[in-house]
Structure 1
């Protein structure tokens, strides 16, 4: 089952990357000589610079110390997994390539702060890979809902199944019948994405808010407006459709 991508009404690719990084608790790091799984060791400052906080006595710190001119080639990979158990839970994969160097700002004893100078950045969603200019990435900011998204989607799935069903009324009227399951897949300041699972395959429905939200507190109001539209158009009103698979 395949559906074409319809209109865009969501974050830019640079914003998506920043959101994935902001919400991620871990990452995979590959250097010239080793691979690491790092948990709760990264941060991004207000200027968009990503840094790793490695124990000063760790193999990673030793590798940086031995690297030519203290510059270590690095590949960082982040995996964005849907908080709700759906088919194909990986929503996106983010890859950053560049060099790690010790930051001039070493904040804590026993911790080596490594700054990543990004040379290449990309995000893969479904089978599509989009490359993002490092300068655009540095200027982008995470979505205002990025950190809270997982908790909000879980709350919607566990406590408000009726809301999910009602939102689905805004889907395209020509979507196939026989939906086996509906689940909230993604949420950002521009709207919500629902996943429709069928006996074979699935389709993602993108439903835009009337206006982008500015913070978590505005989400409830925008969802309420969507539900009013669903009541006013019970036979279906056109909504965006995004990537799908089989």
Structure 2
């Protein structure tokens, strides 16, 4: 069986949903509004929160189907020349949540993502449900549509919540790791400015900034990993480090 070397599109979207700190909800006939919560529920709908004083918060059950688009932006953990890694658009029908069901929906979201923004619901924010009809992601490789069933079957990357802090630490304190990984790149790219772009259970992504433009390169691990210990070993193997099993060099 061939080894999987990159996350599926559905996995990437699930990770982007968890990682994105904010999003924009556009409702037909109104200005876009910010939403702090955008969580996929088990029935395939997205729980979203909007400012209580906005147009979307004023939806009523007898308004019928209200078309809306939720746009998520996945930013790189580091300040790059082109900081956006991908965009996700979720188009569907927006509806209010009955007051008697709000607490239950919030509990479902909090069980998987205890976001402090949930505490604003009922005060400055209002909870809505977006019943997704289509989901599209676009990045440097192009655009692709993903079905809601595929999203429900996928999981976010196990390291996506820690990715930002890890890559920032790598950039600031372990430049030697980036230098070793740079040697894995095609010759012409080794002379550009190489920065950490992404880290997931399948491998590293590097951004190479050159005068001719930016290039994104994936360096896959030998096999997918699921925990910090496996990740550490996979990175050592990828670097070509001889002490992959925790051995230490002999003292002189």
TM-score of the two chains, using structure 1 as the length reference:
0.80
Is the helix fraction higher in 1 or 2? 2
Q: Closer, same or farther in 2 for the Cα pair 1:39/1:159, shift >3 Å? A: farther
Q: Aligned match of 2:230 in 218, 230, 237?
A: 218
Residue 138 (structure 1) aligns with: 152
Q: Superposition pairs for residues 38-77 of structure 1, below 5 Å? A: 38-45=34-41, 49-54=45-50, 56=52, 58-62=54-58, 64-65=59-60, 68-69=63-64, 71-77=65-71
- 2:155 match: secondary structure: coil
Q: Aligned match of 1:207 in 219, 227, 237?
A: 219
Residue 92 (structure 1) aligns with: 86
Q: Distance in 2 between matches of 1:203 and 1:96?
A: 27
Residue 26 (structure 2) aligns with: 30
Distance apart, 1:48 and its partner CA:
5.1
Please tell me whether residue 13 in structure 1 is matched to residue 9 in structure 2: yes
User: Per chain length, whose mean CA-contact separation is higher, i.e. which structure has more relative contact order (CA < 8 Å, sep 6+)?
Assistant: 1
Q: Determine if contact 1:47/1:139 at 8 Å carries over to the other structure.
A: no
Q: Distance in 2 between matches of 1:147 and 1:11?
A: 16
Distance apart, 1:22 and its partner CA:
0.7
Q: Aligned match of 2:136 in 100, 116, 122?
A: 122
Q: Determine if contact 2:35/2:48 at 8 Å carries over to the other structure.
A: no
Q: Distance in 2 between matches of 1:88 and 1:57?
A: 34
How many residue pairs get matched?
A: 221
Residue 3 (structure 1) aligns with: none
Q: Determine if contact 2:67/2:93 at 8 Å carries over to the other structure.
A: yes
Residue 158 (structure 1) aligns with: 172
CA RMSD of aligned residues (A): 2.5
| Alignment gaps of 5+ in structure 1 | 1-6, 232-246
- 1:185 match: secondary structure: strand
Q: Distance in 1 between matches of 2:217 and 2:95?
A: 42
- 1:213 match: secondary structure: coil
Please tell me whether residue 83 in structure 1 is matched to residue 97 in structure 2: no
Q: Determine if contact 2:44/2:148 at 8 Å carries over to the other structure.
A: no
